[in-house]
Structures are given as structure tokens and as C-alpha cells.
Structure 1
Amino acid sequence: MSEKLLGLAADVLRSFGSAFGGRHLAIVGGVVPSLLVDSVPAGIKRHVGTADLDLHLSLHLMDGETADYYEAIIDGLRNLGLRPDRRDGRDIKWRWIGTYREVRLQVEFLCPVRTQGGHSEAPAAGTPAEQNIGPSDEITALAVGFGDLVTDDTIIVERVVETNHGRLRYEFPVAGVASWLCLKADAIMRRDKPKDAYDVVWLIVGLGSAVAAERVRASPLLHGPRTDEVIAQLARLAEQFVDVDAVGARSYADFLDSQNSQVDRRYAVEAVAEFWRRLNDLTT
């Protein structure tokens, strides 16, 4: 991803003001692979990025003591010229859109599903997945499965970027490999969006299966009460790429839309299988 697009991400985060300090949010979604892979290996095409910036709001942001942060978000987005998306006559308050620095920008706010005792659970019966995070009903966040993992697995990634006021070395708060792969496994299960599978394979290959497994093993998530849950979710991910007819492998090939679908499927299967094998070697 170019310095300019990463600069857009920095502009969005900086628009919220210094009070945030990266403590209450982390970037998830399509921007993550470009941030987690320092240098693209030879022979690997650069990641097909996105102009979407999915900002994952942590549990702390939903506390009553952080009302000022909501206002900072709203003011920052408006100052960038963004507004809530609108579909079927209603505002989509968890997705803000607009054109900024000549780029079509979309910022989505996510939050964990309703939780208890730090563990994820299904949303309460009869309630929308969308959770209101703003005191004035101007902004919301979309609840996503396993989002609560990001709170304990966020890392800081430094990048030199082109902001709206010049070049800057910026510290991006980013979901770690473990939590991000868990989110992607849930996304592949719940929606038909081939880019999810592409992102998974590209990150594993971009890091190298050994490095990807080591980063998961080093995550705080594998050194606490969530270990079994995280491993089970990563096992789900491996199952999604278990063979060339599995949804992950087929989705990866569909996203590339090349003339070598079977080759692309096998590539995806082998990449995830090697990662899963190395992770098992480290955790058993």
C-alpha cells in the first residue's frame, strides 16, 4: 500500500486528537496486511489494498467515562469531509464515507459482540448487532465476532507516511496476527467476500509461514485464559482451506480471477496448511 494511502489512515487517526493516543482503537480489515508485512518478499505481488479503513474500537471506548472520545471521533470525521453512508433511506452510522485528498474513503467502526467476563457471546436475543457508541446517536459501531480479542492483541507499527501536512513517522495501532486471523476466520464463515480469503493467504505468504506462526505463538492471547478458544478459531481457519474445494481456497481463486483457478486453489491450501503445521509444532 502506498505512503499516500497509509497517510490517509494516519490523517483519520490524527483527526480524533491527541486524547486517543491509540489506546482505544486498532486498525483491522484490509489495511492490516500492508502494515504487518514490513517488506514484500521477492516474487510476491504487492497486496491488493483497499481505501477502506476499518477502525476497530476496543471495549474501553464503550465505557461511560469516554464520552469526549465520541465527540472527538465525530468532529474528526466531519473535518475530513466524511458523513454517514446512506442505504435504503437510512443512515449507516457505523460507516462514514467521502472523498478526501482525491481518494474515495470509507471508514467503518467495529466493536466486539456483547460480552460478559471478557468472553465473546452471541448478541442478546432481539437486539440489533449494531451497537450505539455515541451519546448523541450520531455514530454507531457494528458488532463483530471475536472482536474482543483485539483488545489484548494490538501492536504498534511504525511507518513513514505522507500526511495532509507532510511526511511523518507515525505509530499505527494494528490488530496482531492472532486476533486478525481469528476475525478473518469468522468473516469467511459469515459472509461471501472473497477478499477475506485473499487477505489471509497474502499475509501468511508475505510474512512467511514460520514467522506468521511465531507471531501467533508470541501473542498474549496464547498465554492466558483464551488460548484454547484462539486455537480452536485458528483450527476453523485451517479447515476453511483444507483442500481445493474448501470455501477459503475457492474464494482466494475467485478473488484473483485468473485462468489458473486450480493452481491458485492449491497455492492457498498449501500456504495455510504450512502455517497451521508450524503453529501446531510450536504449541504442542
Structure 2
Amino acid sequence: MKLKSQYSSAKTNACFSIIVELMTYLKKYSHNIVLVGGWVPYFLYGEIKAEEEEHVGSLDVDLALNFLLIPEQDYQTITDILEERGYKNRKDRRGNIIHASYERTFIDRNNNEHTIQVDFLASEYGGSSRNKRHQRIHDMLARKGRGIDLVFESCVERELEANMPNGARTKIKLKVANLYSIIATKGFAFNERGSEKDAYDIYWLFKNHPKGEAGVIKELSRQTNKKLFIQALNLIKESFKNLDSLGPVAVANFFEPSEAEEREIIQRDSYETINRIMKYLKI
């Protein structure tokens, strides 16, 4: 369980530096890599700067790989680059390798050690048979993710600058899932695992659009003829169906309110915000 108090600036800055490092050394593949997951809200609404509205970021990195367009043969594969830069396969409690998941350990300038998890995802369709959980890219596996098929055509570009783990100040360009595709992937993810962070991300995206709820409705209403997207929206609607449904409760839990009144305000606002937008979208 990940809650707001865990998202210290030291931890999120360390994770931010890993994004910059990855996109620096994977530059030749960057056209076929899209950032998904918990960092997307932070980068998507660049106009949000106020401390009380700023997104918490993330403690790990999720990258979607467009395996259909990444060349099958290359003198230096993605795995080669990751291993050369100190990334290692994660292992489960029994010591077995977790496919599509890596970690990078480094010490920052304040002598704090960080271990950051990096997961690679891929489209469900095409490639391996439907009963397989992964797509093969070079000599690595990327985990299939529901809704990932949408992100490669529905993304925006952002420019990031930060110090990499080695201390070098670097600027990179990065493709980031847009509102439509991240809401789809988050809807499926929350339905699958019920994560407090996923619920917070959905609520935050609906609550903090630079053009208000009208901006959310305008962007998403263009996509309500897409079957996969409607499935995701219906899952979100069901999760926020009632005030005490899992969605509103998970959002409130993420904020860790100390007072019952504060919890009630957050829970109600997330419930009302999601349902108000769903009503306008006719979901």
C-alpha cells in the first residue's frame, strides 16, 4: 500500500532522475517508448504549480514499449543498455526473476541510497498469443497491460531536465500518455488491484485539469465511441458508484487524513467529482 506520506521529495526526485537516465541511454528507442503509470499526471498538467494542487509524482517508473515498431535486430538491445547502466532484474521472494521488471540502486548527492523499480509494458494485441502474459522485445519480455494499445497514438511530448544518478545535468524529451489513454489504463489498473495511488491519480486528473472539469469532458467526450475506453470508464464509474465504494474510500485513504471530517470531505469530493464528469460523458 502506497500512501501520500511516503512520497518525500528525496524519493520522488530519485525516481525522476531515473526517468531522465533511462531516456538518455535509451534515446535511440525513444520514439517507441511512452511513459505510463503514476508519473503521468505530474507531467501531463504542466500548468499546475501550486503546492496544494501539485501531484505527488511516483516512486517507480512504468514505460510502455511499442514492440511492433522496435527493430527485431540491433547491435545493442534494450537489455544490453539496462545491464550496462546498472539495472538488474527484480526477483520475487523465492529468488525467481520477475520478467519485465528491473531495479536500479544508487546513492544520491546527499549520500542516501535509493532503489527504484522500473517496469516495462506492452500492448495486449499482436505478437504473442492471447494466453501469454508478455510480449517479447529483443531478448527481454514486456508485460501486457490492458489499455496500453491506446498510448502509442494518444500521447504528448514533454521536455524534462534533471540530474541523473551519476550527477550529470541532462535534458531529455519524453512521450507521455495523454488524458484519454492514461484514464483508460488507470481504470483497468484500479479494477485489477484496487490501489490507493491509482484511485488518487484518477481523482487528481479529473479534479485538476487546467481548464477545469469542462476541459476533462471536452478531451474525453471525443473518445466515447471507443469500446476499450468505454470499458475503462464503466469500471471507474462502478468503483465510484457510492460514497462508500472502493474508489472514494481509496482516495481518502491515500491522503491519510487525521480528522474524520477531513476524510469525509475528501471522500465526498472524489465521489461527486467522478460522478459529475461521468454524467456529462453519458456513462
The answer to whether TM tops 0.5 is: yes
In the alignment, which residue of structure 2 is the partner of 1:105? Answer: 116
Give the one of 74, 92, 95 matched to 2:101: 95
Gapped regions of structure 2 (runs ≥ 5): 1-8, 109-113
The question of 1:238 aligning with 2:205 is answered: no
How big is the shift at 1:279?
A: 3.8
In the alignment, which residue of structure 2 is the partner of 1:119? Answer: none
Q: Choose between structure 1 and 2 for higher RCO, CA contacts under 8 A separated by at least 6 residues.
A: 2
In the alignment, which residue of structure 1 is the partner of 2:28? Answer: 19
Give the one of 89, 98, 102 matched to 1:84: 89
Give the one of 26, 39, 43 matched to 1:35: 43
Question: C-alpha distance in 2, partners of 1:96/1:202?
Answer: 28
Question: C-alpha distance in 2, partners of 1:101/1:11?
Answer: 14
The question of 1:264 aligning with 2:263 is answered: no
In the alignment, which residue of structure 1 is the partner of 2:194? Answer: 192
Residue aligned with 1:81, SS:
coil
User: How far does the alpha carbon of each residue in 1:212-265 deviate from its partner, in whole angstroms, 9 at most, with x for none?
Assistant: 2333346xxx39xx6243234223322321221222111112222223333221
Which amino acid letter does the alignment assign opposite residue 216 of structure 1? L
Residue aligned with 1:68, SS:
coil
Could you state the TM-score of these two structures normalised by the residue count of structure 2? 0.80
> CA 1:14–1:242 in 2, change beyond 3 Å: closer, same or farther?
same
Identity of aligned residues (%): 24
Q: Is the 8 A contact 1:195 1:255 kept in 2?
A: yes
Give the one of 205, 211, 217 matched to 1:213: 217
In the alignment, which residue of structure 2 is the partner of 1:66? Answer: 72
In the alignment, which residue of structure 1 is the partner of 2:62? Answer: 54
The question of 1:75 aligning with 2:72 is answered: no
Q: Is the 8 A contact 1:3 1:160 kept in 2?
A: no
Q: Which stretch of structure 1 is more off in the superposition, 160-169 or 244-253? A: 160-169
Q: Is the 8 A contact 1:56 1:110 kept in 2?
A: yes
How big is the shift at 1:166?
A: 4.2
Q: Is the 8 A contact 1:98 1:104 kept in 2?
A: yes
Question: C-alpha distance in 1, partners of 2:237/2:57?
Answer: 23
> CA 1:205–1:134 in 2, change beyond 3 Å: closer, same or farther?
same
User: How far does the alpha carbon of each residue in 1:61-100 deviate from its partner, in whole angstroms, 9 at most, with x for none?
Assistant: 5x6x43328x432122123311000112211121101213
Q: Is the 8 A contact 1:214 1:279 kept in 2?
A: no
Q: Which stretch of structure 1 is more off in the superposition, 170-179 or 150-159? A: 150-159
> CA 1:82–1:229 in 2, change beyond 3 Å: closer, same or farther?
closer
In the alignment, which residue of structure 1 is the partner of 2:18? Answer: 8
How big is the shift at 1:4?
A: 5.9
How big is the shift at 1:165?
A: 5.8
> CA 1:169–1:13 in 2, change beyond 3 Å: closer, same or farther?
closer
Q: Is the 8 A contact 2:53 2:208 kept in 1?
A: no
Q: Is the 8 A contact 2:124 2:145 kept in 1?
A: yes
User: How far does the alpha carbon of each residue in 1:184-228 deviate from its partner, in whole angstroms, 9 at most, with x for none?
Assistant: 11111111321110111112222232222333346xxx39xx624
Residue aligned with 2:86, SS:
coil
How big is the shift at 1:42?
A: 4.3
How big is the shift at 1:57?
A: 1.1
Residue aligned with 2:157, SS:
strand
How big is the shift at 1:43?
A: 6.8
Gapped regions of structure 1 (runs ≥ 5): 117-121
Question: C-alpha distance in 2, partners of 1:146/1:19?
Answer: 25
Q: Is the 8 A contact 2:42 2:56 kept in 1?
A: no
Could you state the TM-score of these two structures normalised by the residue count of structure 1? 0.80
Q: Is the 8 A contact 2:122 2:142 kept in 1?
A: yes
Question: C-alpha distance in 1, partners of 2:64/2:121?
Answer: 5
The question of 1:131 aligning with 2:139 is answered: no
> CA 1:239–1:89 in 2, change beyond 3 Å: closer, same or farther?
same
Aligned residue pair count: 261
Which amino acid letter does the alignment assign opposite residue 73 of structure 1? I
Question: C-alpha distance in 1, partners of 2:129/2:255?
Answer: 34
